[in-house]
A and B are shown apart, each in its own frame.
Chain A
Amino acid sequence: MPRILKRRETLLAIIIIVMIAGFATRAAGFAEPANLANIFNDTSILIILALAQMTVILTKSIDLSVAANLALTGMAVAMLNAAYPDIPLIALVITAILMGAVLGAINGYLVWALEIPPIVVTLGTLTIYRGMAFVLSGGAWVNAHQFTPVFLNVPRTPFLGLPVLAWIGIVIVLMMFLVLRYTQFGRSAYASGGNPVAAVYAGIDVGWTRFLAFVLSGALAGLSGYLWVSRYAVAYVDIANGFELDSVAACVIGGISIAGGVGSVAGAVLGALFLGVIKNALPVIGISPFTQMAISGTVIILAVVFNARRERNRGRIILRDQAAKDTASEGASA
Chain B
Amino acid sequence: MTTVLQRSVADAPAANNQAILEMRGISQIFPGVKALDGVSISLYPGKVTALIGENGAGKSTLVKILTGIYRPNEGEILVDGKPTAFAHAQAAIDAGVTAIHQETVLFDELTVAENIFLGHAPRTSWRTIDWKRMNSRSKELLQSLESAIDPTIRLKDLSIAQRHLVAIARALSIEARIVIMDEPTAALSRKEIDDLFRIVEGLKTKGKAILFISHKFDELYEIADNFVVFRDGRAVGHGELKSTPQDEIVRMMVGRDVGNAFPKGAVALGDTVLEVEKYCHRTEFRDISFKLRRGEILGIYGLIGAGRSELCQSLFGITRPLSGRLTLDGREIQVRSPQDAIGAGIVYVPEERGRHGLALPMPIYQNMSLPSLGRTSRKGFLKAANEFALARKYAERLDLRAAALSVPVGTLSGGNQQKVVIGKWLATQPKIIILDEPTKGIDIGSKAAVHGFISELAAEGLSIIMISSELPEIIGMADRVLVMKEGLSAGLFNREELTPETLVRAATGNA
Contacts and interface: CB of A to CB of B under 8 A. Distances in A.
B370 A187 contact: yes
Interface in A158-198: 181-184, 186-187, 190-191, 194-195, 197-198
B407 A1 contact: yes
A194 B362 contact: yes
Contact of B359 (A186, A194, A314): A194
Interface in A1-35: 1-3
Contact of A198 (B32, B357, B377): B357
Contact of B338 (A182, A190, A201, A318): A201
Contacts of B370: 187, 191, 199, 202, 204
B119 interface: no
Interface string A304-320: 00000000001111101
Max chain A CB contacts within 10 Å: which of B338, B341, B362?
Answer: B362
B339 to A, nearest CB: 4
A187 B361 contact: no
Contacts of A183: 380-382
Interface string B308-347: 0000000010100000000000000000011101100000
Interface residues of A, number: 31
B410 A200 contact: no
Nearest to A192: B359
A203 B371 contact: yes
Contacts of B407: 1
A3 B424 CA distance: 23
A211 to B, nearest CB: 15
Query: What's the interface size class on B, roughly?
Result: 20 to 34
B122 interface: no
Interface stretch (B193-201, B348-356, B487-495): B348-356
A238 interface: no
A126 to B, nearest CB: 29
B360 interface: yes
A89 to B, nearest CB: 31
Nearest to A181: B382
Given A1-B407, A2-B406, A315-B411, A187 B366 contact: yes
A326 interface: no
A200 B106 CA distance: 28
Contacts of A316: 411
Contacts of A317: 403, 411
B97 to A, nearest CB: 29
Nearest to B403: A317
A194 B318 CA distance: 19
B408 interface: yes
Max chain A CB contacts within 10 Å: which of B337, B361, B410?
Answer: B361
A74 interface: no
A43 interface: no
A261 interface: yes
B358 interface: yes
B360 A200 contact: no
A205 B339 CA distance: 8
Given A184-B382, A317-B411, A261 B359 contact: yes
B373 interface: yes
B295 to A, nearest CB: 25
A70 interface: no
Contacts of B410: 314-315
B358 to A, nearest CB: 6
Contacts of B408: 1, 314
Contacts of A190: 359, 362, 366
Contacts of A205: 337, 339
Interface string B379-423: 011100000000000000000000100111011000000000000
Nearest to B406: A1
Interface in A193-234: 194-195, 197-205
A289 B23 CA distance: 63
Nearest to A260: B361
A190 B369 CA distance: 13
A262 interface: yes
A201 to B, nearest CB: 5
A305 B357 CA distance: 29
Nearest to A204: B370
A184 B339 CA distance: 14
Interface string A115-150: 000000000000000000000000000000000000
A257 interface: yes
Given A1-B363, A315-B411, A202 B381 contact: no
B487 to A, nearest CB: 23
A182 B376 CA distance: 12
Contacts of A261: 359, 361-362
A51 to B, nearest CB: 19
B367 to A, nearest CB: 8
B338 A200 contact: yes
Contacts of A184: 373, 377, 380, 382
A21 to B, nearest CB: 33
Nearest to B371: A202
Contacts of A195: 355-360
Given A182-B381, A191-B359, A202 B366 contact: no
Contact of B382 (A2, A182, A262): A182
Contacts of B358: 195, 198
Nearest to B356: A197
Contact of B360 (A194, A204, A320): A194
A220 to B, nearest CB: 21
B380 A314 contact: no
Contact of A202 (B361, B406, B424): B424
Contact of B361 (A3, A194, A197, A199): A194
Chain A to chain B: the 6 pairs with minimum beta-carbon distance, closest first:
A194-B359, A195-B359, A202-B370, A202-B371, A203-B338, A203-B339
Interface of A: 1-3, 181-184, 186-187, 190-191, 194-195, 197-205, 257, 261-262, 314-318, 320
Given A190-B366, A194-B359, 8 more contacts: A1-B407, A1-B408, A181-B382, A184-B377, A194-B362, A200-B318, A262-B361, A314-B408
18 contacts: A1-B363, A1-B408, A183-B381, A186-B382, A187-B370, A199-B359, A201-B316, A201-B318, A201-B338, A201-B356, A202-B338, A202-B370, A203-B337, A203-B341, A261-B359, A261-B361, A314-B408, A315-B410
